[in-house]
């Protein structure tokens, strides 16, 4: 099926992230968005390496284009939205706790079952993110990265360690809260507050510099507002 309008592609890690962001098509320009779900964090998977992270990301874009008969000219831009997962914290803030069945994110540390594996995970994810951050275009399609810290659930409901059921509930509640066509001001304010609450810089590059410092990648924040404030320009009739 051929898509008639150029698209701004939004790539997220999971189905709950996709659910939470569905208000975008109501609040801005209907039909000009498509959300692609990678069903996992491609930057931290064990077989993910820096030399191949761009091709891995592009494979999801290409799959979407092939499905709908699109070319690169049909894509305005790609937003890759990623959880920080405490990736940039100092190594000493990774604490081993044998009773942990999975990562536990706290405001100043990560608790984990196997510290050596957690260190490798952080190093791998950090390396891949830094590679993508310096990539301004992916196969000639403009690319921008936006973070959710310490993860998507933390941003939208304030809880960093949600169960699968809680993740789904939080996403649905967020979708309902901001799904009305009149909700754009409060939707933008929500994400603006995720910057100003802890003084994240209102600049794309500086926000990424900020999140890499100290324990900032464990704090509840996001630079997604910086994407939202460009949307009216990105989706002007001249570009569509």
Q: Tens digit of pLDDT for each residue in 54-86?
A: 999 999 999 999 998 999 999 999 999 999 999
Beta strands in the chain (DSSP E): 7-12, 33-37, 75-83, 94-96, 104-105, 110-112, 137-138, 141-149, 221-222
User: What does the alpha-carbon distance between residue 186 and residue 182 come to, in Å, rounded to a whole number?
Assistant: 9
pLDDT value of position 172: 98
pLDDT value of position 139: 95
pLDDT value of position 32: 81
User: What does the alpha-carbon distance between residue 140 and residue 5 come to, in Å, rounded to a whole number?
Assistant: 18
pLDDT value of position 230: 86
pLDDT value of position 240: 55
pLDDT < 50 positions in the chain: 1, 3
User: What does the alpha-carbon distance between residue 112 and residue 100 come to, in Å, rounded to a whole number?
Assistant: 6
pLDDT value of position 4: 57
């Amino acid at each position: 099926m051929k898509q008639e309008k150029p698209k701004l592609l939004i790539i997220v890690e999971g189905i709950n992230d996709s659910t939470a962001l569905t208000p975008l098509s109501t609040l801005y320009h209907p039909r000009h968005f498509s959300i692609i779900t990678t069903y996992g964090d491609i930057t931290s998977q064990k077989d993910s390496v820096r030399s191949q992270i761009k091709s891995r990301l592009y494979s999801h874009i290409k799959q979407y284009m092939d499905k709908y008969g699109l070319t690169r000219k049909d894509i305005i831009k790609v937003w890759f939205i990623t959880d920080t997962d405490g990736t940039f914290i100092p190594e000493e803030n990774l604490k081993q706790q044998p009773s942990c069945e999975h990562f536990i994110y706290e405001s100043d540390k990560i608790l984990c079952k196997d510290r050596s594996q957690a260190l490798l995970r952080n190093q791998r994810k950090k390396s891949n993110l830094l590679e993508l951050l310096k990539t301004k275009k992916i196969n000639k399609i403009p690319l921008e990265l936006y973070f959710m810290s310490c993860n998507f659930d933390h941003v939208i409901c304030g809880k960093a360690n949600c169960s699968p059921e809680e993740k789904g509930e939080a996403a649905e509640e967020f979708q309902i809260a901001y799904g009305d066509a009149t909700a754009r001001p409060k939707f933008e304010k929500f994400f603006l507050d995720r910057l100003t609450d802890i003084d994240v810089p209102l600049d794309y590059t500086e926000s990424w510099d900020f999140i890499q410092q100290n324990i900032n990648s464990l704090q509840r924040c996001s630079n997604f507002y910086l994407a939202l404030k460009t949307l009216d320009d990105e989706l002007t009739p001249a570009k569509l």
